[in-house]
Amino acid sequence: MSQGKQSPNDTAPVAGRRRFLNTAALASLAGIAACTDKTKAASPAAAAAPHAASGEASATHLKPGELDTYYGLWSGGHTGDMRVLGLPSGREILRIPCFVPDALVGWGITNESKKIMGTKPDGSLRYTVGDSHHVHASYKDGNYDGRYAWINDKINSRLARIRLDYFVCDKITELPNVQGFHGIFPDKRDPVDPAINYTTRVFCGAEFQIPLPNQGQATDKAEQYRSMFTCVDAETMEVRWQVLIDGNCDLTATSYDGKLAATNQYNVESGVHFEDMMSAERDACLFFNIARIEQAVKDGKFRTIGSSKVPVVDGTRAANADPKTALTAYVSVPKNPHGVNASPDGKYFICAGKLSPTGTVIELAKVLDWFDGKLEKVDQAIVAEVELGLGPLHTAFDGRGNGYTTLFLDSQVVKWNIEAAIKFHAGDKTAKYVLDRIDVQYQPGHVNASQSETVAADGKWLAVGCKFSKDRFLPVGPLHPENEQLIDISGEKMALAGDHPVRGEPHDFIIFKRELLRPKQVYALDDFPLAVKDPKESGVVRNGRKVTVKMTSQAPAFSLREFTVKKGDEVTLILTNLDKVEDLTHGFAIPKYNVNFIVNPLETASVTFVADQPGVFWCYCTHFCHALHLEMRTRMIVEA
């Protein structure tokens, strides 16, 4: 493949284009070459020479027993969970099940987890598949506060909340009027009451446009398809309001003053076919004036759609032409952007072009000026639109005024200075905004840095999710792992610190200092209404054909040596782990009955099943707990 032309703002030497993956990637985009003009298409970013690892990079190998200094929360993709990593080691510590059943902990088996996941009238799970994408956490004073994290399920339009004191999912909400629920971001403070400086809402973007209500009507009238931007209450997890918009939503961002939320749009054409979604040369970054929207809802200026009772306000272009009353503002950005990110200084949102080699810097104060009628056009809020490289997607920040953007087609991360880019855009062609480039392996998507989108961005570590791993790991058949790479960004030059194979397909992630969390090591017994607090409370209670079995576990025994039920009984078994020692978890499995779950120290869980098979069934502890773990059993006797 021929070498690319050096970017006019590059200082790195020109090198050949990535050979293997870019050949295929560029070929697939050949039919949409109009995404950039000829000059931009011929001026991709130069490849960078590998950087030597710094002292920071060498710290990724921890000594036995040494703890990581950062937590990382990763999406699990098709596994429908959230993953917890320690950084800089990259070690996976935990998987938190959310949207999909999990055999290890009994998620989707216990009554408590099924209640959170949602069930059909017959008690079976409403959904058994998921597609978790984006992870974000709650804020206080512009930094993470350790209360909650949220993750979205794109396929079934669900939002899950994780309690970070126990690292468990405690609520799941399904959004109405939505398909392809993609981007999320919590607000960083409440704009209505300045005294509330913590997260009260989570904003959710719908990627796919559908007829509304989607009940089989107007399926052939694509011009009537619409998408929604949704606000969910952070505490109750109830949907507060929705905004009907033109085009779609992709990723989401919020401002530090709580006044604005935004989503980038890659399909302002509202196309329903592949080629229709990239016919326009420019798309949009769509801003939402939160206080005005909430006031409109309060004033009753909304409607409802279908069977949903959620207030829906009109955020379409036609209804928001007057800036002094507008609820939304559509800022024009280059072709098919993927990602919108908020700089830690609170001044800017960054959109990257994907099908344009550019990054767009939008000044939030000027967006607010447009809402106040001080600017003639909202596009005047664009203060920079500069070339970064081929296939720019997402941007992270180091807290020193620099952005780090992934270049999907170049298989690189580019480090660039935002203020220098603004000067270059304003006409100062001596302003060198591109500071560094580093090759990554291969085709990077999401990127995030330690404390990146907080006021405490510390510029230590950058993680980048590479969609293809190719030759980086031992071959394991056709399905390759993906490659999460860690980069040291503490110095002027980026240094690749590590490769970490991951099971596909994770998406976004956040990285924050470990001292922001104080996880509990043992549950509180009083948190569980069904808790069996004393082994003496154990026993079998019959109410007709409904039977309740109460039991405790204390290594190495269950409180009931056996229990008897009759064939056809509906059995609810309640188990409390009375061990108070951290790390002493018990499991409980019943052969032939599809029952297996765990109870952590002082936790209570329950299962309900029909005893439809007569005989003797040895119930046993599935989670190693004691030297006599194999002897930890009880008998369920089902009488015919």
> Is 22 part of a structural domain of the chain?
no
Are 473 and 570 contained in the same domain?
no
CA-wise closest residue to 382 among 329, 430, 446: 329
CA-wise closest residue to 408 among 342, 473, 347, 339: 339
Q: What are the tens digits of pLDDT across the range 19-40?
A: 444 444 444 444 443 443 333 3
The token pair that represents 255 in the structure block: 């401002």
Q: What are the tens digits of pLDDT across the range 219-264?
A: 888 888 999 999 999 999 999 999 999 999 999 999 999 999 999 9
> Is 2 part of a structural domain of the chain?
no
At 330, the amino acid letter reads: Y
CA-wise closest residue to 85 among 471, 461, 488: 461
How long, in residues, is the chain? 640
Count of CB atoms within 10 A of residue 49's CB?
13
Rounded to whole angstroms, how far apart are CA atoms 458 and 469?
28
**What was the pLDDT predicted at 218?**
85
Rounded to whole angstroms, how far apart are CA atoms 268 and 329?
13
Rounded to whole angstroms, how far apart are CA atoms 587 and 575?
10
Are 494 and 534 contained in the same domain?
no
Rounded to whole angstroms, how far apart are CA atoms 633 and 403?
57
Q: What are the tens digits of pLDDT across the range 514-540?
A: 999 999 999 999 999 999 999 999 999
The residue written with tokens 């959904």 in the block is 127
Are 429 and 457 contained in the same domain?
yes
Weakest-pLDDT range from 3-17, 378-392, 541-555: 3-17
pTM of the model: 0.92
Q: What is the mean pLDDT of residues 587-597?
A: 97
**What was the pLDDT predicted at 192?**
78
CB 312 within 8 A of CB 302: yes
> Is 35 part of a structural domain of the chain?
no
CB 197 within 8 A of CB 210: no
Contacts of 634 (CB under 8 A, 6+ apart): 551, 558, 560, 561, 562, 563, 618, 619, 620
Are 602 and 491 contained in the same domain?
no
Helix (H, G, I), strand (E, B) or coil at 361: strand
Are 503 and 567 contained in the same domain?
no
The residue written with tokens 């606000």 in the block is 231
pLDDT above 70 for 442: yes
In which domain, by residue range, is 272 found? 55-98+131-278+285-516
**What was the pLDDT predicted at 194?**
75
pLDDT above 50 for 210: yes
Rounded to whole angstroms, how far apart are CA atoms 498 and 489?
13
pLDDT range class, residue 46, cuts 50, 70, 90:
very low
The CATH number that applies at residue 298 is 2.130.10.10
> Is 549 part of a structural domain of the chain?
yes
**What was the pLDDT predicted at 57?**
53
> Is 234 part of a structural domain of the chain?
yes
Pick the more confident residue, 275 or 254.
254
pLDDT range class, residue 169, cuts 50, 70, 90:
very high
Q: Please, what is the Cα angle at 144 between 140 and 145, to 5 degrees?
A: 60
**What was the pLDDT predicted at 53?**
54
pLDDT above 90 for 426: yes
The token pair that represents 116 in the structure block: 């959170």
Q: What is the mean pLDDT of residues 417-432?
A: 97
Looking at 452, 482, 516, the residue that finishes a domain is 516
C-alpha to C-alpha distances, 11 to 49, 88, 380, 434, nearest whole angstrom:
12, 30, 30, 8
Count of alpha carbons within 13 angstroms of residue 344, beta-carbon side: 23
Q: What is the mean pLDDT of residues 180-188?
A: 96
**Alpha-helical runs (H) found in 351-412:** 364-371
The CATH number that applies at residue 531 is 2.60.40.420
**What was the pLDDT predicted at 17?**
37
Rounded to whole angstroms, how far apart are CA atoms 618 and 476?
37
CA-wise closest residue to 264 among 418, 77, 395: 395
Containing H/E element for 286? strand 282-289
pLDDT range class, residue 52, cuts 50, 70, 90:
low
Weakest-pLDDT range from 10-14, 278-282, 497-501: 10-14
Q: What are the tens digits of pLDDT across the range 59-118?
A: 778 999 999 999 999 999 999 999 999 999 999 999 999 999 999 999 999 999 999 999
Are 585 and 545 contained in the same domain?
yes
Q: What is the mean pLDDT of residues 132-160?
A: 97
Looking at 516, 543, 576, the residue that finishes a domain is 516
> Is 39 part of a structural domain of the chain?
no
Are 456 and 596 contained in the same domain?
no
The token pair that represents 9 in the structure block: 């703002």
Count of helices and strands (H, E) across the chain: 7, 39
Rounded to whole angstroms, how far apart are CA atoms 208 and 343?
27
Are 178 and 290 contained in the same domain?
yes
pLDDT above 60 for 338: yes
> Is 124 part of a structural domain of the chain?
no
Q: What is the mean pLDDT of residues 456-467?
A: 97
Are 512 and 564 contained in the same domain?
no
Counting the structural domains of the chain, the total is 2
**What was the pLDDT predicted at 223?**
84
pLDDT above 80 for 2: no
pLDDT range class, residue 589, cuts 50, 70, 90:
very high
**What was the pLDDT predicted at 217?**
87
pLDDT above 70 for 419: yes
**What was the pLDDT predicted at 221?**
87
Mean pLDDT, rounded, of the chain: 91
Are 361 and 438 contained in the same domain?
yes
Rounded to whole angstroms, how far apart are CA atoms 12 and 602?
58
Are 457 and 594 contained in the same domain?
no
CB 333 within 8 A of CB 349: no
At 217, the amino acid letter reads: Q
**What was the pLDDT predicted at 10?**
56
Looking at 474, 489, 516, the residue that finishes a domain is 516
> Is 32 part of a structural domain of the chain?
no
Count of alpha carbons within 13 angstroms of residue 639, beta-carbon side: 5
Rounded to whole angstroms, how far apart are CA atoms 82 and 462?
19
The token pair that represents 545 in the structure block: 């054909």
CB 352 within 8 A of CB 337: yes
Rounded to whole angstroms, how far apart are CA atoms 548 and 564?
11
Are 320 and 405 contained in the same domain?
yes
